[in-house]
Amino acid sequence: MNALVLVGMSIADADRRTELTAAARAHGATIAFLQQAEPALSLELTRLADAGTTAITLVGVNLGPLGPAHSWLRRIAGHWWREYAGTTPEVLVATRLADDLDRIDDVLGEAKPISGTEAGLTSAAWESVTGHRHQVMICRGPRCTAKGAVDNLRAMVLAMLEHQLGDDDVLLVHTGCQFPCNQAPVISVQPDDVWYGHVDPETATTIVKEHFVTGQPVVTHRLMR
């Protein structure tokens, strides 16, 4: 028994679950996610293996500009392969990510098997707690998501790249409802205790430029207690 799994690589792919599911159905596949959505890839691999699947092909789908590198698909699959307690199926990973749901067939033909020798999930670089100055709470509750939280996130990440701010400087955190929903989309910045409302991508970019780089909160969209 063979199976095909389309694996969303980033939160941008989790946001497009409906499209990913439709593409999977068209290919007789199921879906899984590398992060931030269910089912997690490991859970889906276990489900298929427990059901007696003998060969599983994984195609990574990266529809956003900011997904993790392709190598993480092999590393996560390799970790699962080493840990799975039952009879391990053959797991093949497409050698390229599909950056468009119309390109799944293009990458499907080029898949290489997992060998169990893939790099693990740890690195010497990830030993310590980071010294980031700000934790940025991006509300992904229902109101904020409906009003453009995803576009704000994308603008913020792109602006951080432009200003060479990494996880060591600013940690972006997705949250559920932060409560001032009438001001959606909401972003709050800790430990400064600065709250922003009615944020749009232009404002998100300005927050990076002014608040994170120069330390000056953006007064036009600041919410006062």
Give whichever of 14 and 144 is closer to ligand FES, judged by the CB atom: 144
Q: Does 142 bind ligand FES (CB under 6 A)?
A: yes
**Least distance to ligand FES, CB of residue 113, Å:** 44
66-89 b/e with 16+ CB inside 10 Å = b?
A: ebbebebbbbbbbbbbeebeeebb
Is 144 near ligand FES (CB under 6 A)?
A: yes
Residue 222 φ then ψ, to 5°: -75, 135
67 makes contact with ligand FES (CB under 6 A)? no
Residues ≥6 apart with Cβ < 8 Å to 18:
none
With beta carbons less than 8 A apart as the criterion, state whether 212 and 171 touch.
no
**Out of 60, 64, 141, 148, the residue judged to bind ligand FES by CB under 6 A:** 141
For the CB of residue 162, give the shortest distance to ligand FES in the complex, in Å: 26
Cβ-based neighbour number of residue 204 at 10 Å: 29
What's the sign of the alpha-carbon dihedral 123, 124, 128, 131? negative
Q: Which stretch binds ligand FES (CB under 6 A): 38-46, 92-100, 139-147, 206-214?
A: 139-147
Is 139 near ligand FES (CB under 6 A)?
yes
**Which ranges of the chain would DSSP assign to H, the alpha helix?**
11-15, 17-26, 41-50, 71-83, 104-108, 142-146, 149-162, 201-206
Contact call for residue 52 and ligand FES (CB under 6 A): no
Which residue's CB is nearer to ligand FES, number 77 or number 187? Answer: 187
Would you give the binding string for ligand FES spanning residues 83-122, x where CB under 6 A is met?
----------------------------------------
How many CB atoms within 10 Å of residue 208? 23
3 SS3 class = strand
- In the complex, which residue's CB is closest to ligand FES? 141
Residue (of 77, 80, 66) closest to 13 by Cα position: 66
Which residues, 156 to 215, sit near ligand FES by CB under 6 A? 177-181, 184, 186
How many angstroms separate the Cα of 202 from the Cα of each of 45, 155, 190, 207? 40, 7, 21, 9
Q: Should residue 143 be labelled a site residue for ligand FES when binding is judged by CB under 6 A? A: yes
CB of 160 to ligand FES, least distance (A): 21
Q: How many residues bind ligand FES (CB under 6 A)?
A: 12
Q: Which residues bind ligand FES (CB under 6 A)?
A: 139, 141-144, 177-181, 184, 186
